[in-house]
Copies of this chain bind each other. A is one copy, B any other.
């Protein structure tokens, strides 16, 4: 590639002759990795005119750099970065100076320091990745996704691809969700009751901003999805953790001062408990009694393969009390960043205005691609394939776990994509997870799911949505061995 003349500037407070300054600009570009071997420099005429210096000055600078072997000349075709020029590992200019800004004072708010743990980004390089929520390349329908993306990139969809929608969504995606996706959860909603979001994370965040203030109280499940706790802590509302049992959230335990109840009735996160129908009705009754709203996170309803999924809590809601969060992260892929909120028009209107201010709208092209993938039936086929694979992996998991003597704390009545595991009470999952990583096994320690200063350390989650079935037994075996060594620890 040619180096653009527009990247050259003479600094007003530079030292030395113009020629020396130009030499230094180029040498620094090469040494920092900005200019790479073989890249072409601007002609001396162009650079001279751009910098407002005489052409001979640029020519002399180039000649000097030729002599130092930073540049080579290819006759009439001009000057290039020499194949002998130094190569830094990657573009990483040195930090030239320390800021004089006092950031401890300048930052108005801090958002770092949340409870969501770092997860290994290179999980695919591990042999036994019991990770949660990533895409399995062997299951995803890459070919049809590509075709749908191509179609959405066509001339017919130019507007959907390029336009600023301001606060709107792709009407084709919204209609498909209303006609086909929500009815599977027993939910009938009109387009003005639906908002497309940047994934379920964004949907939960928006719901929290619209419904909560510093004077309001959110009831959350304990344990629960750690990123939700970060969202609520940042919103500075009061947070009341409510312990879950084998049927999920117990309505009777929800404090009466709660304004908003966050719950995962289909597959409680992380214990995987499914809330029975009678308890769902009791939860709605409790919400009415204390005049609270409910945010229902239905993050992996498609992953039900043992039993047909129960209809969503939202489908039982006759009062507008439930706000429903859906996601395509588990059924399509998380990097897509597409989810949706369903709720009363008064709520969705504020949520839409907030989203417009924060980010306007999810990119048009990905919305249209998803609309095609769904409406052409590829989504249904993909879900069937994923369910079949998860069903088979689950029974392999179960068998290997039974054989190994590990203890399952929750495995989901309807299916799901993970087991919630309990180590011996003295064991520390963060510790044996670290040891297992050395052996190529990734598991997720459970402590960060708990709202407590002294969370139990012995729980962990085993996802089976990304690990090949044939590696499960050996992986479980390694976990069992690491755990037994853990027990022998002093």
Give residues in A with beta carbon < 8 Å to B: 1-2, 4, 6-7, 9, 12, 29, 32-34, 50, 90-93, 95-97, 99-101, 103, 106-114, 116, 118-119, 121, 124, 133-135, 137, 140, 142, 145-146, 149-150, 153-155, 158-166, 168, 175, 178-180, 183-184, 186, 188-191, 197-199, 201-202, 205, 209-213, 216, 227, 230-231, 234, 259, 277, 293, 308-309, 311, 315, 318-321, 329, 333-337, 344, 346-347, 349-351, 353-354, 356-366, 375, 377, 380
Contact = CB atoms under 8 A, between A and B. Distances in A.
Contacts of A140: 162
Given A9-B186, A357-B230, A164 B329 contact: yes
A4 B302 CA distance: 13
Contacts of A146: 150, 153-154
A359 B160 contact: no
Nearest to A94: B190
Contacts of A112: 349-350, 353
Nearest to A363: B337
A234 B209 CA distance: 11
Given A158-B142, A234-B357, A350 B107 contact: yes
Nearest to A104: B346
B164 A334 contact: yes
Contact of A183 (B34, B119, B179): B34
Contacts of A161: 333, 335
A368 to B, nearest CB: 10
A282 B437 CA distance: 55
B101 A293 contact: yes
B159 A93 contact: no
Given A91-B191, A134-B164, 12 more contacts: A34-B179, A34-B188, A92-B190, A99-B319, A100-B321, A106-B293, A106-B347, A108-B216, A108-B259, A109-B209, A119-B166, A337-B361
Given A6-B308, A357-B231, A149 B153 contact: yes
Contact of A121 (B7, B103, B165): B165
B135 A145 contact: no
Contact of A359 (B95, B198, B213, B230): B198
Contact of A99 (B145, B163, B320): B320
A360 B337 contact: yes
A341 to B, nearest CB: 13
A146 B205 CA distance: 33
30 contacts: A9-B186, A91-B175, A91-B191, A96-B188, A97-B318, A100-B319, A103-B320, A107-B211, A107-B350, A108-B210, A109-B210, A111-B210, A111-B353, A111-B357, A119-B166, A121-B166, A133-B164, A135-B163, A137-B158, A140-B162, A142-B158, A146-B154, A150-B150, A150-B153, A161-B335, A163-B334, A198-B359, A335-B364, A337-B362, A363-B366
Nearest to A216: B108
Contacts of A202: 358-360
A216 B337 CA distance: 33
A9 to B, nearest CB: 4
B210 A103 contact: no
A43 to B, nearest CB: 16
Nearest to A316: B12
Contacts of A99: 319-321, 344, 346
A153 B186 CA distance: 34
A116 B198 CA distance: 22
Given A202-B358, A359-B199, A162 B350 contact: no
Given A308-B50, A357-B231, A375 B1 contact: yes
Contact of A163 (B134, B216, B311, B377): B134
Contact of A106 (B188, B199, B211): B211
Given A101-B320, A210-B109, A357-B234, A124 B159 contact: yes
Given A190-B93, A213-B109, A4 B180 contact: yes
Contacts of A124: 159
A155 B159 CA distance: 27
B319 A201 contact: no
Contacts of A134: 162-164
Query: Which of A99, A158, A209: most chain B Cβ within 10 A?
Result: A99
Nearest to A209: B109
A359 B357 CA distance: 14
Contacts of A166: 118-119, 121
Contact of A180 (B7, B175, B362): B7
A230 B358 CA distance: 10
A149 B158 CA distance: 14
